[in-house]
Structure 1
């Protein structure tokens, strides 16, 4: 291993200004790149409101801190491995807020309350809850049975089915979230959702989080089932589990609603007004103030400027800087999309319900407008998990999946294409260079091929043998290119650090951008 220790002449006494040395060291490259990488992957993570757990002892407080910190660390590491998902979620969140904003503005004007994009973001993060506890107390005072009966319902069988006299209004458009499937499948979907709901609605969760099963809501749900819905609509979603999980959670006397559901509850009259919270109060709940956002964005922009100046002057950038530049580009886009989104709020604002739902129709409407799940396994409480996306964007659940995966694939392709900048850089060996070039092609081309095949399958109404053949081809593309994509991404992550020790002399020259204030 060869090393070089730089040395500079000490300026004479009386010197008033000393410029920086025109070189940079390996560790300087490493730490400046690493600091920007951490900023790009940590600062762009905007987690939803965590479950509100009652704590008393120091041990419980420490456990709560860890439960809130570890998910953020996990999402940061996930962002390193798959940055395209973070920007995709940020884009979908931004589109959802944009979709709802006009309706919220109109309703807020009627209620004479302030409302901004930050409010809608906060609602989608589980920032507003609707409580029926006070209504249950009023019912108990008038002789209504307590929640003891509801506990039996919680531990009993999946919701039974059928009330043929019930009907939904004709103007309720089930196609907003559903597509046709076989009649026998909804029962399995209900059972699958019920399995997850038993964990979420467990007695231990209820005790720790300060809620319980509500009698009135449970009674309304007791007769609801897949067959009832199927009879009325004949239009069900291939991700119908989302609806069933959303509606089962409405048995609680505390609803954590996203922005679409909260607006639905207000329009139905379940709450009598939107929350009267000014934007400054929301800013107080934001754990990232304007200064921190500006510092993070400024450091990222400084790195990008330095990278581009070196590129324009034909000075060598390192492979590590190429990768971090790719992260920086996506991160700046996330900063813009999530600028109005509160950063890691920790507490839910509880609103008192004006009344219980009048009938199952209102419960169905609220559940049908609820979030979609990237994976239901990550939802362990009644609070909205970070794997959920708003239903405000996209007309059906299948379209939602298509939009989500294709958008992520396009960002993945763009992220991979940026690594082609290092196509002719100096590598430890010719084999390393070829592997980098192949990996860059795979990480750029594989997502585009996935988008192409998914689009063909979506827009081509095939049946019979043609449909089976298309499914087989799509499966082969998935089996071949997804593992290749993962291996290529992993190689790039390792190679950027390995190649740092094999840089040409030009890589250690500095530019005028180095004199701009920055961190690292």
Structure 2
């Protein structure tokens, strides 16, 4: 690998002047102007659910430090890495959550009008991200035996020897304490079953005070897209080739921009949830009704939640269950896969180190576009079959064996090839455009 250091002529006379940017760019410039917009945009659009409340009395100082200082940054970093690996999946999850909130908002609004409390779509999104909790300060009475029981009404029912019975109460482990985190559907059930007398009174000012999203977050999502689009457009207009990494930058910032507007009503970095007391009329039967309405895993895996929070990979239920939300998620996954993979197709005729790598790039871009669509088709076919059907199990095995590995390999190849190709760029790729230093990146 050869190192080349261009020489640039400096102004000779000391006069008032404006010195423009150099007419060339280095390999480090390309790296910087690609990685910085990706990092800013992908990080700024992450809005994880509310973390579990810290326990200051916990004697383990590591737990206290983790809950207070490291839990939220670690969660945002995790979902940032997931988005870098599969942005279409993150976008689909966010779209399904917004759709479920939209479905439940009308009923919550009806209850709010009846209870004479303020309620907006942001309140519903706050509930779905674990920002509303109900506090029990007394034992719960079993209406069948009149025996007061502690705050663990589902322990005997959900942890028995009957595993199928346990699966009925998703979120049972999350509801075995005196503090429950309720999403929008569970909030409706709790109000209908009189576990709460009225919806919580949360003003718009209180929500805005907890919301960390501001104009800088908006700029973090929008400016990288503007910068990438100007750079790409300027190079196309001047008939100058772009680096493959610049194409990847364009794809990522476009996905981040889309995710920002999908989650625009969701509060950012909500650390302390809103707490309000439960009603004295709560019974074991009503609690089980609320437990059945708990959100389901994003991928549909049958498991109980063992977390005191609403996990980031969950989809809230609606009045019609969760099937419609999964369908919306599948549509969003297909749409974003086409957009994300289609942007990579702009490099169809770019110069590659070898012809084989060019062919592999084309195949990887097409796989990125169409394998998620085939995955959605397989999931839809599988959902139409009865549980335990042999064909259903066969389709599930086929999609994990034949679709998932090629998609992972395609994404890995695109990422690796984007960096490898930096050492084999043509001379024209180092010619800078007027937008080299735009926005100071």
TM category, shorter: 0.7 to 0.9
Aligned runs of 1:321-470 on 2, under 5 Å?
A: 321-358=246-283, 360=285, 362-374=286-298, 379-392=305-318, 395-398=320-323, 400-401=325-326, 403-405=328-330, 407-456=332-381
Question: What TM-score results when the alignment is normalised by the length of structure 2?
Answer: 0.86
Give the drift of 1:490. 0.8
Distance of 1:348 and 1:44 partners within structure 2: 21
Go from structure 1 to structure 2 and tell me whether the alpha carbon gap of 1:396 and 1:258 turns closer, same or farther (over 3 Å shift). closer
Asked if 1:319 corresponds to 2:244, the answer is yes
Q: Tell me if the contact between 1:50 and 1:346 (Cα under 8 Å) persists in the aligned partners.
A: yes
Quote the residue 1:211 is aligned against.
Answer: none
Deviation at 1:157, TM superposition (A): 7.5
For residues 327 and 318 of structure 2, the distance between their equivalents in structure 1, rounded to whole angstroms, comes to: 15
Whole-angstrom distance in 2 between the partners of 1:279 and 1:339: 15
Q: Distance in 2 between matches of 1:128 and 1:354?
A: 15
Q: Give unpaired runs (5+ residues) of structure 2.
A: 142-146
Taking a change above 3 Å as real, the CA distance of residues 474 and 432 of structure 1, as seen in their structure-2 partners, is: same
Query: Are the aligned partners of 1:258 and 1:390 in contact in 2 as well (CA < 8 Å)?
Result: yes
How far the C-alpha of 1:471 sits from its partner, in A, is 6.1
Partner of 1:106: 110
How far apart are 1:334 and its partner, in Å? 0.5
- Asked if 1:277 corresponds to 2:202, the answer is yes
Go from structure 1 to structure 2 and tell me whether the alpha carbon gap of 1:451 and 1:248 turns closer, same or farther (over 3 Å shift). Answer: closer
Cα separation, 1, equivalents of 2:317 and 2:153: 32
Q: How does 1:7-156 map to 2 (within 5 A)?
A: 7-11=7-11, 12-55=13-56, 60-64=63-67, 65-133=69-137, 135-136=138-139, 147=150, 154=155
| Cross-structure match for 1:213 | none
Question: Which residue in 1 is equivalent to 2:2?
Answer: 2
Residue correspondences, number: 432
The offset of 1:435, in angstroms, is 1.5
* Aligned mates of 1:119, 1:371 — CA distance in 2: 17
Contact 2:342 2:365 in 1 (8 A): yes
1:306 paired to 2:281: no
- 1:501 matched to 2:423: yes
Seen in structure 2, the aligned counterparts of structure 1 residues 378 and 272 have a Cα distance that, compared at 3 Å, is closer
Measured in 2, the distance between the counterparts of 1:158 and 1:114 equals 36
- The structure-2 alpha-carbon separation of the partners of 1:280 and 1:514, relative to structure 1 and needing over 3 Å to count, comes to farther
Q: For the residues of structure 2 that align with 1:364 and 1:19, how far apart are their CA atoms? A: 69
The alpha-carbon distance between structure 1 residues 130 and 328, as it changes in their structure 2 partners (threshold 3 A), is same
Query: Would you say 1:244 and 2:169 are equivalent positions?
Result: yes
Contact 2:345-2:362 within 8 A present in 1 as well:
yes
Deviation at 1:81, TM superposition (A): 0.8
Is the contact between residue 131 and residue 254 of structure 1 (CA under 8 Å) also seen in structure 2? yes
TM-score w.r.t. structure 1 length? 0.74
The 5 A counterparts of 1:464-483 are: 472=394, 475-476=397-398, 478-483=400-405
Q: Distance in 2 between matches of 1:414 and 1:474?
A: 26
